C-alpha cells in the first residue's frame, strides 16, 4: 500500500502534462462536433488576382468581368517588379495579362500567346487558373464553331461559366447502422494517438522516478515482495488510465446526442481495451528505464507510426495493400476496423467487431506479461 501511495504522489506532480493533452484534444473534438461535413455545401475558392487588359476589346472585357465575379481582383501598376513583390508577399496569388490582339487571335482560332502569367512557383492557384483559362478558351471556340460572332461567343461563354450548380458533399459507403453519431465516431477515431501520447509522456517519467536504483534497493531491502511491488505499480497506473478513459468517454456523450445505447457500447468497449493496450506499452517501455530525453522520441515513433500505418490519420481505403498487410499485426488496425463500422464506412458486423476487440485484448495481455518478465529480470540482475 505504501508503494501505491508513493506512486500516486509522484504521479500528481506530472498531471499538468496530461491536462495539456486532454484540454487540447477536447477542444479539437468539440470543434469537430459542430462541423457537419455531411451537410456542408461546396464553396468555390476565391483567389487574389491581378489582371492587366492590354487588348481592351469586348471579348477581353468579358473575360475580365467573369474573373472579377469568381475571384478577388487586386489593382496593381503595370510594373513587373511591383507584381513580383506582390506575389512574393502573397498580396496576390496570380498575375494575368491579356495580350494585345487577344480578340483577333481568338476569332481566328489561335490559342498561342493569348495570355501571359506571373507566379512564383507551381501551386494550387497556378493549376486552378490554368485550368479555368483553358476551359474558357475551349468554350469560346465551341460557340465560334457554332456560328456565333466573336463578341457573342465570349458573352455566351461567360454566361455558361456563371451558371451555378448546388453541390452537396456526402459520405460514400454503406449507411451508418450503428447507434453512434458520426461526430462521436470521429472523436473516438483519434483516441489511439491521444491515449498512447498521454500515457507514455506522463507515466514514463513517473515510473522512471519509482524505478531509480536507490529506491529499488531500498524497496528490495524492505518486506515488499517484487510481485506485490509490481502489482502496486500496475494498480497506480490503472487508476490514472481509468481516469483518462472516463474523461474522454464522458466527453463524447454530448457529441453522441445522449447516453450510449445499443451498438455504441461496442465503441466504448473498443476504446477501453485499446486504453489497456496503451497502458501495457507504457509499462513495458518504462520497464527498460529509458533516459528521459528518449521517452518523447519513443512515444512519437510508436504513436505516430502506428496511427499513420493503421488508418487513424489516413483512412484505410487510401492505404496500400502492403501497408494494410503489415498493419494487421498492430492493434490500432483492429481498433480502426471497429471504428469504421461506427462511422458507417464499413457495414456493421458484430462478430467481426468483437473478434477485433479480442485481438486488441490479446496484444495488451501479451505486453503485460512481457512487462512482468522484464521487471523480474531487472530485479534479479540488480540484486546480483
Residue boundaries of the structural domains of the chain: 2-38+175-383, 48-162
User: What pLDDT does residue 289 have?
Assistant: 79
User: What pLDDT does residue 40 have?
Assistant: 46
For helices 350-383 and 226-256, the axis angle rounded to 10 degrees is 150
- Burial class of 62 by CB neighbour count within 10 A (0 to 12, 13 to 18, 19+): buried
Q: What is the CA radius of gyration of the chain?
A: 31
Q: How many whole angstroms separate alpha carbon 270 and alpha carbon 357? A: 6
User: What pLDDT does residue 39 have?
Assistant: 44
Please enumerate in sequence order all residues whose Cβ is within 8 A of that of 153, keeping only pairs 6 or more positions apart, or say none. Answer: 140, 141, 143, 144
| CA-based max dimension of the chain | 101
Global confidence as pTM: 0.64
CA atoms within 13 A on the CB side of 284: 20
In what side-by-side order are the strands of the sheet with 48-53?
Answer: 72-73, 48-53, 94-98, 115-118
Q: Give the residues of the chain that fall short of pLDDT 70.
A: 1, 29, 32-44, 122-123, 164-178, 213-226, 378-384
Q: How many whole angstroms separate alpha carbon 337 and alpha carbon 310? A: 9
DSSP per-residue letters across 268-311:
HHHHHHHHHHHHHHHHHHHHT---HHHHHHHHHHHHHHHHHHHT
Q: How many whole angstroms separate alpha carbon 358 and alpha carbon 365? A: 10
Q: Can you say whether the dihedral through the CA atoms of 183, 185, 189, 190 is positive or negative?
A: positive
User: What pLDDT does residue 127 have?
Assistant: 80
Please enumerate in sequence order all residues whose Cβ is within 8 A of that of 332, keeping only pairs 6 or more positions apart, or say none. Answer: 192, 274, 306, 307, 309, 310, 311, 312
| Contact of 130 with 47, CB cutoff 8 Å | no
| Contact of 125 with 132, CB cutoff 8 Å | no
Q: How many whole angstroms separate alpha carbon 365 and alpha carbon 370? A: 9
pLDDT tens column, 227-236 = 777 788 788 8
Q: How many whole angstroms separate alpha carbon 290 and alpha carbon 337? A: 32
Let me know the angle formed at the C-alpha of 58 by 54 and 64, rounded to the nearest 5 degrees: 60
Instruction: Determine the topology of domain 48-162 in CATH.
Output: abc type-2 transporter like fold (3.40.1710)
Helix (H, G, I), strand (E, B) or coil at 51: strand
Q: How many whole angstroms separate alpha carbon 206 and alpha carbon 315? A: 34
User: What pLDDT does residue 148 have?
Assistant: 86
Amino acid at each position: 500500500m505504501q508503494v501505491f501511495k508513493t506512486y500516486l504522489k509522484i504521479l500528481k506532480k506530472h498531471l499538468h502534462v496530461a491536462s495539456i493533452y486532454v484540454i487540447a484534444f477536447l477542444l479539437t473534438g468539440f470543434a469537430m462536433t459542430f462541423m457537419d461535413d455531411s451537410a456542408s455545401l461546396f464553396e468555390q475558392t476565391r483567389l487574389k488576382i491581378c489582371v492587366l487588359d492590354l487588348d481592351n476589346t469586348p471579348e477581353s472585357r468579358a473575360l475580365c468581368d467573369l474573373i472579377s465575379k469568381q475571384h478577388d481582383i487586386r489593382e496593381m501598376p503595370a510594373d513587373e517588379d511591383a507584381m513580383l513583390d506582390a506575389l512574393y508577399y502573397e498580396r496576390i496569388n496570380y498575375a494575368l495579362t491579356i495580350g494585345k490582339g487577344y480578340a483577333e487571335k481568338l476569332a481566328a482560332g489561335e490559342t498561342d500567346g493569348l495570355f501571359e502569367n506571373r507566379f512564383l512557383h507551381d501551386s494550387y492557384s497556378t493549376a486552378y487558373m490554368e485550368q479555368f483559362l483553358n476551359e474558357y478558351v475551349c468554350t469560346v471556340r465551341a460557340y465560334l464553331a457554332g456560328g456565333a460572332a466573336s463578341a457573342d461567343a465570349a458573352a455566351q461563354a461567360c454566361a455558361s461559366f456563371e451558371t451555378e450548380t448546388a453541390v452537396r458533399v456526402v459520405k460514400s459507403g454503406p449507411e451508418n447502422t450503428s447507434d453512434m453519431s458520426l461526430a462521436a465516431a470521429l472523436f473516438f477515431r483519434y483516441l489511439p494517438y491521444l491515449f498512447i501520447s498521454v500515457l507514455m509522456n506522463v507515466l514514463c517519467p513517473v515510473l522512471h522516478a519509482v524505478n531509480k536504483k536507490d529506491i529499488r534497493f531500498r524497496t528490495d531491502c524492505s518486506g515488499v515482495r517484487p510481485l506485490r511491488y509490481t502489482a502496486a505499480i500496475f494498480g497506480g497506473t490503472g487508476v490514472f488510465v481509468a481516469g483518462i478513459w472516463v474523461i474522454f468517454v464522458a466527453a463524447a456523450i454530448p457529441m453522441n446526442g445522449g447516453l450510449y445505447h445499443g451498438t455504441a457500447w461496442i465503441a466504448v468497449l473498443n476504446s477501453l481495451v485499446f486504453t489497456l493496450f496503451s497502458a501495457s506499452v507504457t509499462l513495458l517501455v518504462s520497464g527498460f528505464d529509458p533516459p528521459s530525453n528518449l521517452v518523447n522520441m519513443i512515444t512519437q515513433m510508436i504513436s505516430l507510426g502506428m496511427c499513420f500505418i493503421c488508418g487513424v490519420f489516413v483512412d484505410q481505403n487510401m492505404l496500400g495493400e502492403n501497408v494494410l498487410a503489415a498493419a494487421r499485426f498492430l492493434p490500432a488496425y483492429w481498433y480502426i476496423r471497429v471504428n469504421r463500422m461506427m462511422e458507417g464506412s464499413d457495414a456493421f458486423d458484430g462478430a467481426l467487431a468483437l473478434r477485433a476487440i479480442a485481438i486488441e485484448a490479446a496484444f495488451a495481455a501479451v505486453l503485460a506479461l512481457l512487462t512482468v518478465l522484464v521487471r523480474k529480470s531487472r530485479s534479479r540482475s540488480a540484486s546480483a
